Amino acid sequence: MWLDILSQYNTIQVNIKLANILGLKVAVYWAELMNVYARVINKKFDELQENQGYFELDRDYITKRTTIDVEEQLQFDKALAKLDVIYTNEIDPNLVKLDVEKLCAILVDDDPEAIKAIQKKSKLKRDDEQSAKRGSLKVQLFSSVIEQDAEILEAYKDWISMMIESKKLINRKAIEVFQINLNSYTDSKEVKLKILELAAIHAYVDFAWARQVYEKDYAKGGAFIGVKQKKRTEIDPNSGF
Of the chain, the percentage scoring pLDDT greater than 70 comes to 83
Burial of 195 (0-12, 13-18, 19+ CB in 10 A): buried
Of the chain, the percentage scoring pLDDT greater than 90 comes to 60
Q: What is the pLDDT of residues 7-20, one digit of tens each?
A: 556 688 888 889 88
What is the C-alpha separation between 70 and 84, in angstroms, rounded? 20
Phi, psi of 88, rounded to the nearest 5 degrees: -120, 150
Burial of 87 (0-12, 13-18, 19+ CB in 10 A): middle
Give the mean model confidence (pLDDT) for residues 128-153.
83
Average pLDDT value over all residues in the chain: 86
pLDDT at 112: 84
Q: How far is CA 143 from the centre of its chain?
A: 20
Q: What is the pLDDT of residues 58-103, one digit of tens each?
A: 999 999 999 999 999 999 999 999 999 999 988 899 999 999 999 9
Provide the strand spans (E) within the chain: 55-56, 86-88, 95-98
Q: How far is CA 134 from the centre of its chain?
A: 8
- Taking alpha carbons only, the member of 122, 41, 136, 43 closest to residue 80 is 122
pLDDT at 20: 86
Q: What is the pLDDT of residues 111-129, one digit of tens each?
A: 888 888 888 888 886 556 6
pLDDT, greater one: 113 or 5: 113
27 and 80 Cβ atoms separated by less than 8 Å: no
